Amino acid sequence: MQKLIGANEEDDEEEIEMDVKEEDNENGQKHISAQMMLGADGVMPSTSHQFQIQQQLQEQVSTPGGGARRSRPLEEKERTKLRERHRRALTARILAGLRKHGNYNLRVRADINDVIAALAREAGWVVLPDGTTFPSRSQGSRPAGDSSAGLTSSSSEMLSQQAPPTSLQGVSSGYCALVEYNACHMKGVFMPTPAPYDLSSSGHSQSSGMVGNGGEQTESLPLIAGSMEVINDKQLGVVNMKCELVDPDGLLKQLRVLKSINVDGVMIDCWWGIVEAHAPQEYNWNGYRKLFQMVHELKLKLQVVMSFHECGGNVGDDVCIPLPHWVAEIGRSNPDIFFTDREGRRNTECLSWGIDKERVLRGRTAVEVYFDFMRSFRVEFNEFFEDGIISMVEVGLGPCGELRYPSCPVKHGWRYPGIGEFQCYDQYMLKSLRKAAEMRGHSFWARGPDNAGSYSSHPHETGFFCDEGDYDGYYGRFFLNWYSQLLINHGDLVLSLAKLAFEGSCIAAKLPGIHWWYKTSSHAAELTAGFYNPCNRDGYIAIAAMLHKHGAALNFACAELQFLEQLEDLQEALANPQGLVWQVLNAAWEACITVVSENAFVCHDRVGYNKILENVKPVNDPDGRHFSSFTYLRLTPLLMERQNFMEFERFVKRMHGEAVLYLQGSQW
């Protein structure tokens, strides 16, 4: 029987296709003949097998009196064939039309499921890789016309959609700005109002405004003006997957509003999956050029993010921006280019650090690919660097743009406060582990821990992370040192090339705030993410030293972390946000690193703004230390409401060091 549409052509190598036909014999009677076609392996079925099939067909069409008649089942089979041929023809025309006119990113062998998924995403639904489908955050939590316009900085749009507030743990796959994915808005995962630990700080919205720094009025604090999603109840992206500016007029209005309250500038993600989407070293910067020119004309500053990760599939993601198509094509034949867990599950959020020096990307290593991308950006926008419009370049170093392993992927079953899993089982990282074990003289250590639990385990449930567990044994210390050193080496290598590409410009790297299980001895969630920071070791000093080596700033999303201690969920997870903030910031201050930050939660009220100001511009710091810039997340339709916007304007003034009065006349 012929394959139905959508069947995988590689799955039927052993299939024998049978063509059933009716023929007239010499006497004019109908009889059935069964022709056996060669299988994909080229093997002709045996003669006895053919005879059995013919015998069965004869029995099916014989009447009780021995005569032959037309068989109802055979007629159904013929009709089924015709229906399937007709369906294939329709699907082919639909796919051709969508690719040509709708700019949908459909694979060559796409089937009707791909079409349905694309249309569902355009309608605002979330479609996960396994087919699970549900309403997006914007559909599920907002009335029509008030869609999610989160301020996360996503490379393609500027005034943002409402992604969930960013989390200090950094588990989301990127700020979920609404990017038009080939003419359809690819929505992400629907989540109810997220808890503090579900708020992803890891992506970046398409554009972000900068709000002053902590003290003097120097250019600073990026206010993420994200991607504006709702204009007259119609969802619009800013830069689509063809790198075209979608709604310049609407965008210009939003930027003028930001300019009117003296926001310093905007932050914008430049997505690898958009710019170099179709072929190696073929870059399309058209939409970004128009966007940058618009920002320049308004005399705003730019902070850009080199986003080498995909967006979509994790907590708070309302959008899908995949890695370049040509990279995905390589990944289908060589899945070891992606991070892999113990069960062999691949994580396509970003490339494994195991191929940083492996020429597996059509003759280039991963770091060469990153460097070529950054160099192309530097050449393309040279005048913006020369004029000082681009004030900072943040370099993506891992999932969500953060320097960490993708240890907590929601799509693989992670749930807060799970410890996550080690991501070191692709062939390239295992080769590195074997080499390290042999150099240590213990080749049998060339393996990952076999008692480290699963994604959602708690430390005390495992033999590796429990108190006095294997993490602190000889093998555990060896493995964790190797695992964390790979993270530092990756950051060191990529930032060294970024420094070369953006010579003379400020570069930055982003670090997540993984604060759950911080009060345990092992700090399990930090260990799986690559931070070797148990209670008897400081895992952030080496990272700070690496950043200092390249003159890179540290972007740490911790503006409200120290105020979370009272939350019950954090207490149950033995979290210590304040302790984590203190440790990371002290490591940065000691290394003389510039620190920038962003808020972790959506904030529209004065109390929340005061908490941010207390952290970003501490009054009682004996050394007068403060953050050099602050990125506000996110610009949404709710923020633009009159009262909320008035509060935000006061916040911007205070961030710039201006005195602000209450309406009654008292000082704020």
Catalytic residue set: 402, 598
C-alpha 226/C-alpha 634 separation (Å) is 6
Whole-angstrom Cα distance, residue 63 to residue 335?
56
User: Which residues, in sequence order, are bridge partners of residue 326?
Assistant: none
CB atoms within 10 A of CB 15: 15
Q: Is 192 exposed, middle or buried (0-12, 13-18, 19+ CB in 10 A)?
A: exposed
Whole-Å CA distances, 413 to 345, 371, 419, 455: 11, 33, 12, 7
- Kindly list the distances between the CA atom of residue 276 and the CA atoms of 63, 75, 337, 574, in Å, as whole numbers in the listed order: 66, 51, 18, 43
Cβ atoms within 10 Å of 24's Cβ, excluding its own? 9
Q: Which of 266, 270, 303, 302 is nearest to 287 (CA)?
A: 270
Q: What is the DSSP string of 364-412?
A: B-HHHHHHHHHHHHHHHTHHHHHTT-EEEEEEP-SGGGBSS-----GGG
Strands (DSSP E) contained in 15-81 are 18-24, 30-36
Q: How many whole angstroms separate alpha carbon 354 and alpha carbon 338?
A: 9
- Tell me the pairing of strands 230-231 and 301-307: unpaired
* Structure tokens given for 89: 């023809």
Residues 6+ apart with CB under 8 A from 319: 154, 161, 163, 174, 176, 177, 178, 179, 181, 185, 186, 187, 188, 311, 312
655 near 603, Cβ under 8 Å?
no
The neighbouring-strand residues paired with 555 are 510, 596
Residue 399 CA to residue 632 CA, distance in Å, equals 21
CA distance 256 to 259: 5
Q: Are 515 and 570 in contact (CB under 8 A)?
A: yes
Output the furthest CA–CA distance in the chain (Å, rounded): 109
